[in-house]
Structure 1
Amino acid sequence: MTFPVIPFGREFKAKYFSNLDPHVINVNHGAMGATPDCILDEYCKSYKSSQTFFDKYLRYEQRYEYMTQLKEISTKELLNCDFKNLAIVDSATAGVNTVLRSFPFKSGDKIVFSTTTYGACKKLIQFLERRIQIQPIVVDIKYPASEEEVVAAYETKFQEPGIRMCLMDAVTSVPGARIPFEEITKLCRKYKILSLIDAAHGIGLLKISLLDLKPDFFVTNLHKWFYVPKSCSVLYVNPEYHRVIQPLTISHQYSDEDVSLSTNELEQMRFFDAFQFTASRNKASIACITSAKKFRNETCGGEETIAKYCYELAWEAANHVTTKVWKGSSILNTKETATALINVEVPVQDLIPEVDINEIAPWLPQVEHEICIDYNTFVPCFFYEGKVYIRFSCQIYNELDDYIYAANAVSETFKKFFANIDKFKATPLCGSAFLTVEAFDKIS
């Protein structure tokens, strides 16, 4: 049989992602993910089944289901680890919170992170700095940068005294760039620094072996690139820290870290048990891990087939836009840093020559809103190192035409939105990430 069963692109979308609005051009898969119809069907089936006798499901069946699905995700072809070192959390950000808010930091402990660390995680470090006086140590990364330059920048910071932990991405959000997290994790071991990898863009996008990687902490979303329904992510914790890391919601299975359990078997399941039962949450998405794995293997042709299509489409889209749509524009990524996420420069001075590019950044959330409402697509726009970029996410239901459409939507919106220069005399109607309620009232 030739894989995929149906060619990737628009035809594949119509067959397997029919819940996506056919009039919407989704070029931002990496932000929220999307779930194939057959996996959504499994989600609904699982949820309905749990409701038929919820006491039985919650008290007995859920534990078996939870264990079974973690075993599926821990196999050699996926995370390659012992399932007893895994827990389900709502998101990668929730996983990072779980680790950093459980860990017994002391005042003055230093945490390394970078200028490209996900914004929500930066806020968490800001919270810890205020609450327990940890010291943030920032690695300044400027793309385009080689792997060697990124590794060297981290190592320079690691040589400072008192570094307790390093929070690193696997693939950064803005700009979308793969970082050499494998080499940085090795450096963490060399300098006796704990490693926490935020692989929000991880499983389904990258090849990962935790057995080889040997991080202290690792979290990855299943609802982004792996097609599991939201909200479902996996947290890995080195067994050495099973007694330390607790779920954000402390529940019945909590035990103090200095209490020894009665048998070795119970001790080995301490971490699993603490996370498995945290009250009557909807966990139907967990039951879909097997279905997602099956769909990716049997319908799509496996991880390598999916990755090849998405990676190649990313380069094709970026090259086409920078040579045909926006001639002379640049691609921020190199081959080392590109995945199915790729960043393309917006030629602001060609589109709106009368506007100072340095005044644009506060208005970009409103530009995104206009694109979303007027063109039925969402294109992340961001200001970086003196330029405006957009980020494309490429998925098996996309084709090149989707990115041409998105780039043209950006062009038209920039021209229309910035035509009224008087707007710069007002305050932008946006926050740091999303439009405020007041902004929607005024511009929707």
Structure 2
Amino acid sequence: MGDNVQSIPVREKALSSDGQDDKVQAYGKGLKDEHFMFGPNYRNLNQGSFGTIPRAIQAKQREYQDLAEATPDAFIFYAYPKLLDESRTAVARVLRVPTETVVFVGNATIGVNTVLYNLIWADDNKDEILHFNTIYGGCGKTVEYVVESRYGRVSSRTIPLTYPCEDEAVVAAFRDAVKASREAGKRPKVCIFDVVSSLPGICFPFEAVAAACKEEGVLSLVDGAQGIGLVDLDLTRADPDFFVSNCHKWLHTPRGCAVFYVPLRNQALIRSAIPTSWGYTPLVEGPKATVLPPNNKSPFVFMFEFIGTLDNSPFLCVKDAIRWREEVLGGEERILEYTHALAKKGGQRVAEILGTKILDNESGTLTRNSMVNVALPLAVKKGESPLLADLAALPSVPEDDAFGVTIWLKETLMYDYNTFLPMFIYGGRWWTRISAQVFLDEEDFEWAGNTLKELCERAAKGEYKKSAEKKKKVMLE
């Protein structure tokens, strides 16, 4: 049945006189209009939350769904595993790892849950989970639950970071936490860290920290939710113990889809997928009952292949998204070169319009990705305390109003300006995270700068108070 799947629509290739493929699409608004499905006036400046797909990939997903409905049993039992293997092979090439080390899960948080739920915590109550204070909120909640539900067998330790800092300081903070854990009579068992953190959206030296984990005898669990399609990845070189990355954020794959990498040496530690299903292989000897067709795959790969009746068509689209990016966009290297440059140059332009700055260190390593964090001209005032020296000239909002202002900023961007940007408070002021993408150009960042300037001026005048009063009135009526 897999032979009946149609290839994605791409233009015929031809080389120009300089040897370049002149059918590879130019980036910017023309690409947006031809290939993507945004509303005519919507500016998608937030690729980092939910991603988006081109029309060609939406058509592929619907094709797989149609095939599943045409002959459900034949497709799910026999065609689906073969198509899934094709996607596993394609994504393994992008990550530069063997195919037998990758499977798919619904999202990065599921991958982190899978690792933490499978690890065995010692009965001596000394095991400890390390994580940085930049951990994604959902994964932070997972750590809290694991600590709570294991009845004292495992604890957690937060590693504080203050940005901007150099990569060496991050590694040093990890080593300090390991030392402190051991001095407290604990056993640091696993450390969770990012490829690119969420808020602020900055590059994390994950390869260096993974190497430090190996030296310290600590398992490395890399949350690459922001990873594949956003930065260049070589997992054979980085060699983490566990790695998960969302494909739906930056790889133009439908939601939700994440690649879960476990090197062969650690696959025995992952005893079950979440949920446990037909692919589980018990350790006890004897016949292993299953409704799935027999195959020669490893227990690790087999248990993630079928975990219930879910629409896993996004997994099948991974190979098509990678091919589309190669044939229409010119491949991963060209995409990253454009989006990284646009994020840095566009972010600087937004900061120039706002009279502020971007978040980076002296080495420039924090901005080596396709997102940029720009400071807003708006500060948080704590009681009667004077603002910090570098914030003294900014309009300020009382600390008690800060949460409501953050909500107002995001909602007003949506309803008044037809866009969305993450807003967060860091270092006593508001920041925003802007995503660069192949369907954006410098004019989009120029527009974002002017829009944010107007938005902050409205907030400084107290317009958020009117909105809060209106909502309160509606609730009381």
The two structures have a TM-score, normalised by structure 1, of: 0.89
Q: Which residue of 2 aligns with 1:10?
A: 29
Q: Which residue of 2 aligns with 1:97?
A: 113
1:250 aligned onto 2:250: no
8 Å contact kept, 1:92–1:198: yes
Matched to 2:436, the amino acid is: C
Deviations along 1:83-141, one digit per CA (max 9) or x if unpaired, are 22211101111111111112212443111100111111111111112111321111111
Q: How far off its partner does 1:300 sit?
A: 1.0
Residues 1:116 and 1:260: Cα distance change in structure 2 (over 3 Å): farther
Deviations along 1:222-276, one digit per CA (max 9) or x if unpaired, are 11111111111111123233233221111112123466999xx988610111110
Residues 1:391 and 1:254: Cα distance change in structure 2 (over 3 Å): same
8 Å contact kept, 2:274–2:307: no
Matches within 5 A, 1:196-215: 196-215=221-240
Residues 1:368 and 1:268: Cα distance change in structure 2 (over 3 Å): same
Matches within 5 A, 1:304-383: 304-323=333-352, 325-327=353-355, 329-334=356-361, 335-338=364-367, 339-348=369-378, 353=395, 355-356=397-398, 359-383=401-425
8 Å contact kept, 1:352–1:414: no
Deviations along 1:164-184, one digit per CA (max 9) or x if unpaired, are 001010100000111111011
Residues 1:373 and 1:168: Cα distance change in structure 2 (over 3 Å): same
Q: Any idea what SS the aligned residue of 2:248 has?
A: coil
Matches within 5 A, 1:254-269: 254-257=280-283, 269=298
Work out the CA distance in 2 between the residues paired with 1:290 and 1:266.
Answer: 22
- Identity of paired residues, percent? 27
Work out the CA distance in 2 between the residues paired with 1:310 and 1:128.
Answer: 37
Q: Any idea what SS the aligned residue of 1:105 has?
A: coil
8 Å contact kept, 1:250–1:278: yes
- The match for 2:303 among 274, 291, 297 is 274
Deviates more, 1:406-415 or 1:356-365: 356-365
Work out the CA distance in 2 between the residues paired with 1:364 and 1:163.
Answer: 36
8 Å contact kept, 1:348–1:357: no
- The match for 2:89 among 64, 71, 74 is 71
Work out the CA distance in 2 between the residues paired with 1:410 and 1:357.
Answer: 21
Q: Which residue of 2 aligns with 1:153?
A: 173
Q: How far off its partner does 1:354 sit?
A: 5.5
Deviates more, 1:338-347 or 1:284-293: 284-293
8 Å contact kept, 2:206–2:222: yes
Deviations along 1:419-438, one digit per CA (max 9) or x if unpaired, are 348949989x9xxxxxxxx9
How many residue pairs get aligned? The number is 427
Deviates more, 1:166-175 or 1:341-350: 341-350
Q: Which residue of 2 aligns with 1:59?
A: 77
Residues 1:377 and 1:194: Cα distance change in structure 2 (over 3 Å): same
1:299 aligned onto 2:328: yes
Work out the CA distance in 2 between the residues paired with 1:145 and 1:29.
Answer: 25
Work out the CA distance in 1 between the residues paired with 2:98 and 2:284.
Answer: 23
Q: How far off its partner does 1:369 sit?
A: 1.3
In the TM superposition, structure 1's runs of 4+ consecutive aligned residues that sit over 6 Å from their partners are 424-427
The two structures have a TM-score, normalised by structure 2, of: 0.83
Residues 1:258 and 1:216: Cα distance change in structure 2 (over 3 Å): farther
Structure 1 segments unaligned to the other structure (5+ residues): 430-437
* Root mean square deviation of aligned Cα: 2.8
Deviates more, 1:34-43 or 1:126-135: 126-135
Matched to 1:87, the amino acid is: V
1:24 aligned onto 2:42: yes
- The match for 2:454 among 395, 408, 412 is 412
Work out the CA distance in 1 between the residues paired with 2:62 and 2:245.
Answer: 23
Structure label with greater radius of gyration: 2
Work out the CA distance in 1 between the residues paired with 2:287 and 2:408.
Answer: 55
